[in-house]
Structure 1
């Protein structure tokens, strides 16, 4: 099971103005650095939680259908199922009818049940499920707790910006960060 992002985020959940207000910066000399750090803290938070903060499209690749018929999607919250494609033995794609599907997009992981399950002909990645996931189109749709965690993380990275190269970020997370994102984290047994 592999998930790839088909369309990048149209923006960031934090605005430059929010970040600069939190950092108490008035000038624009470091806007590029702050924007880069905003992207870094968002990507880190999304990796830690499995969430997509702003809505965008993804593709889930499966080798075969799960025995339970319940497809788990480890990127959420899932908003819509766009298309389901199954490849035959010759590698020709065939879209299947997704009307009548059942989606629990808010579950962690999201769960999808499709009405039909044609056998894929390819041994690897024979099934593709395109879906959109995220809290919404703007940062106003993202839970405040997650935005607060990102602002704390941004401040720490900004404070130590000279000690650790941007490519090596995030070097650390601030105290309290883990408690803020804990309710949104994936848990495994």
Structure 2
């Protein structure tokens, strides 16, 4: 049975996540998408490009896996007692920056060797050296981490099933572009491609 697509890119229960950069490319190129759709003219190039981005975002939202490299900001109120931070999006490729934010807005950069991570597991985990990590002085949102997420910088680094899901979803959205009421129900064939990549929601 087909499932209804989510109405937003990120679930409401994860307000601490914010994309700040990327991706610089899409999993599917415009020429490849047009060939798949059997379009011979440039008349719909803008529409097709928008559908590619929408399909990629839907796949990312459904799986909570970021496809091509993006920089995301994660905000926390305190260090977890266990020293382990579960990241709600995968895969994590790098910890790019970390800082504390004081009540007056001033920031303190933290050394990156405070952190080690297992970025490919689900969910990804970041281990914090609590013996060295200073406590935040701001009650809410005093810890900020900037992470590089994604499988890589090019479509060739993506799992083939996820690229195929984007391809099929572009075709589905293009076919139903004039029927907004039908776009909310995704075909079972697309959901089957995504099923191995879906994880339990945190």
TM-score by length of 1: 0.91
2:134 corresponds to: 118
CA distance in 2, matches of 1:41, 1:91: 37
Q: Is the 8 A contact 1:40 1:170 kept in 2?
A: no
CA-based RMSD: 1.8
92-101 vs 122-131, which moves further: 92-101
Give the TM-score of the pair, scaled to structure 2: 0.86
Aligned length: 186
Kindly indicate whether residue 196 of structure 2 is the aligned counterpart of residue 183 of structure 1: yes
Distance in 2, matches of 1:169 and 1:103, equals 41
- Residue 144 of structure 2 is matched in structure 1 by 128
Question: Is 2:63 the partner of 1:42?
Answer: no
The change in CA–CA distance for 1:169 and 1:132 in structure 2 (over 3 A counts) is farther
- Note the residue ranges of structure 2 that are not aligned, 5 or more in a row: 1-13
Cα separation, partners in 2 of 1:169 and 1:44, compared to 1, 3 Å: farther
- Equivalent in 164, 177, 185 of residue 172 of structure 1: 185
Task: Choose the corresponding residue for 1:163, options 156, 174, 179.
Answer: 179
Q: Which residue of 2 aligns with 1:98?
A: 112
What do residues 105-161 of structure 1 show as CA deviations (whole Å, max 9, x unaligned)? 101111011223211111111000011011111111111100111111111111111
Question: 1:90 Cα shift?
Answer: 4.0
- Counterpart of 2:170 in 1: which secondary structure? helix
Q: Of residues 21, 44, 62 in structure 2, which corresponds to 1:7?
A: 21
Q: Which runs of 4+ in 1 moved over 4 A?
A: none
Secondary structure at the aligned position of 2:61 is classed as helix
Kept in 2: contact 1:98–1:114 (CA 8 A): no
Could you tell me how far apart the structure 2 residues matched to 1:170 and 1:77 are?
28
Q: 1:169 to 1:14 in 2, by over 3 A?
A: farther
The answer to which of 63-72 and 171-180 deviates more is 171-180
> 1:80 maps to what in 2?
94
Unaligned runs of 5+ in 1: none
Aligned counterparts of 1:88 and 1:25: Cα–Cα separation in 2: 54
Deviation digits for residues 48-107 of structure 1, max 9, x if unmatched? Answer: 111111101111100111121101111221111011101234432111112153210101
Secondary structure of the 2:188 match is coil
